[in-house]
Amino acid sequence: MHNTLFRTALLAAALGSFSHTASAEGVMVHLFEWKFNDIANECETVLGPKGFGGVQVSPPAEHKQGSQVWWTVYQPVSYKNFNSFGGCEAELRSMIARCNAAGVKVYADAVFNHMASGSGTATGGGSYNSGQYQYPQFGYNDFHHSGDITNYGDSNNVWNGALYGLPDLNTGSSYVQDQIATYMKTLLGWGVAGFRIDAAKHMAPADVKAILDKAGSPRAYLEVIGAGGESPDIQPGRYTYIDTVTEFKYGTDLAANFNGQIKNLKTLGESWGLLPSNKAFVFVDNHDPERAHGGGGMLTFMQGARYDLANTFMLAWPYGWKQVMSAYRFENMGTYETDKGAPGSTPCTDSQWNCEQRRPTIMNMVLFRNRTEGQPVSNWWDNGNNQIAFSRGTRASSPSTTRAARWWPRCRRSRPASTATSWGAMTTAAAVMSPSTAAARPA
């Protein structure tokens, strides 16, 4: 890790007149493990006013109980009951309406590759027994019975096998597809704008598309984690004909460069082997790699100011549909810490919550992104190592550095005349994050 001075433009002055209207979906924030009522408040007081285009919420379906760990919400029991960790159905519907009124679209995490393991009473009062394949809507014949996944080189084993022993729904069944599509249409009718499709890699692309088609072809982004040595049929590129796909390689590439030399980011995009920009859903990290799941290798809140700077770059750089992560602290990568659920306190009221979306470094760059959407990168400058600057068309410019240096005046003097106004505004708006100021703020 470098002994670094992090410097980035907060753009507060330069962005004072920026429009909050973003093209397409705009920047999304994942409010991981937030309650629906708290999400609604955040939409009205922060996300809407600051120009965020969307919010991803935890799976709004009845699921296995156990708030002491976060992953129980990813073990559904029923698609007819909407009482979950996030809140009851009334709170869910109120949140959707309030966020929409604030100009923030709601995207629901959707889990339909598998159902909950074990047996008992779920969050909505429904009973289930995975050993007997009994759920409120499904029985034995609605599941695959191919054992656990043992070979990621075999796509059929991945699509039909049980992920971590979780009962694998037969998503090729018309009945199963209809049940899931009805669930999605209900949420769409309440005002949800689209869905994150969890574990899409573990379902055949044709099955995923059939379900989405039956639901009316809503906007979706599919979780597909690419990995070398696995079947070509389960790689991200095989799912892009359906809709946008998560580009995990983007996050690991960012981490490698912010831990190395950021000068190389000049060409970040498809030439790096990434998905086409209009098909890529990108992030510095998300809830899985943050906890070293799904391969890890990304920057997280534990890297402090370096993590903030990577988010700043992501929001300034014209590639992909962007998501900012917002979750809560844990202390190490031990199983207990990475499994534990959300704090009991209200989000952003104490240091247990990270609330990255409220950090000026990130929050103001959302407005930068909105204002510069569709503008090309120009006037790239770097010092051959860890200082870079560039402009987006003639509207705005972004300097970044991961080493201490008085480089900004020199860079400013070399600007083309066409960008004088934006560079001048940036100079007056620039803020410095030194080791002392970084240490004084939540990492």
Which of 8-12, 210-214, 239-243, 351-355 shows the lowest mean pLDDT across its residues?
8-12
Confidence of residue 20 (pLDDT cuts 50, 70, 90): very low
Q: What pLDDT, in 10s, does the model give residues 21-74?
A: 334 679 999 999 999 999 999 999 999 999 999 999 999 999 999 878 999 999
Mean pLDDT computed over 217-232: 96
Hey, how many other C-beta atoms are within 10 angstroms of the C-beta on 284? Answer: 31
Mean pLDDT computed over 224-237: 96
Mean pLDDT over all residues of the chain? 85
The answer to whether position 16 is within a domain reads no
pLDDT at site 439: 31
Q: What pLDDT, in 10s, does the model give residues 133-167?
A: 999 999 999 999 999 999 999 999 999 999 999 99
List active site positions.
198, 223
Confidence of residue 289 (pLDDT cuts 50, 70, 90): low
pLDDT at site 402: 53
Whether pLDDT at 427 is above 50: no
Check residues 121 and 398 and name the one with the higher pLDDT: 121
Residues counted in the chain: 443
Q: What pLDDT, in 10s, does the model give residues 299-310?
A: 988 888 999 999
The answer to whether position 219 is within a domain reads yes
Confidence of residue 3 (pLDDT cuts 50, 70, 90): very low
Q: What pLDDT, in 10s, does the model give residues 75-116?
A: 999 999 999 999 999 999 999 999 999 999 999 999 999 999
How many C-alpha atoms does 327 have within 13 Å on its Cβ side? 22
Structure tokens at 242: 């359906």
**DSSP state, 399?**
E
Hey, how many other C-beta atoms are within 10 angstroms of the C-beta on 436? Answer: 7
pLDDT at site 303: 87
What's 338's domain CATH number?
3.20.20.80
Q: What pLDDT, in 10s, does the model give residues 337-392?
A: 778 888 989 999 999 999 999 999 899 999 999 999 989 998 898 888 888 998 98
The runs of H, that is alpha helices, within 295-419 are: 305-316, 335-339, 360-372, 408-413
Give the residues across from 389 on adjacent strands: 381, 399
Q: C-alpha angle 136/137/143, rounded to 5°?
A: 115
The answer to whether position 355 is within a domain reads yes
Q: In 3-state terms, what secondary structure has residue 196?
A: strand
pLDDT at site 344: 87
C-alpha span between 251 and 299 (Å, rounded): 8
Give me the number of domains the chain comprises: 1
- Domain of residue 205 covers 21-374
Residue 64, marked binder? no
Residue 201, marked binder? yes
Confidence of residue 429 (pLDDT cuts 50, 70, 90): very low
Residue 145, marked binder? no
C-alpha span between 108 and 196 (Å, rounded): 6
Whether pLDDT at 417 is above 70: no
Residue 196, marked binder? yes
Whether pLDDT at 294 is above 90: no
Strand pairing class (321-326; 194-197): unpaired
pLDDT at site 397: 57
Number of DSSP helices (H) and strands (E) in the chain, helices first? 12, 17
The answer to whether position 342 is within a domain reads yes
pLDDT at site 191: 99
- Residue 112 to residues 68, 109, 142, 167, 300, Cα–Cα distance (Å): 23, 10, 12, 11, 28
Residue 202, marked binder? yes
- CA-closest candidate to residue 57, choices 26, 35, 81: 35
Residue 293, marked binder? no
Integer-rounded Cα radius of gyration of the chain: 22
pLDDT at site 204: 99
pLDDT at site 431: 26
The answer to whether position 97 is within a domain reads yes
How many C-alpha atoms does 396 have within 13 Å on its Cβ side? 29
Mean pLDDT computed over 226-239: 96
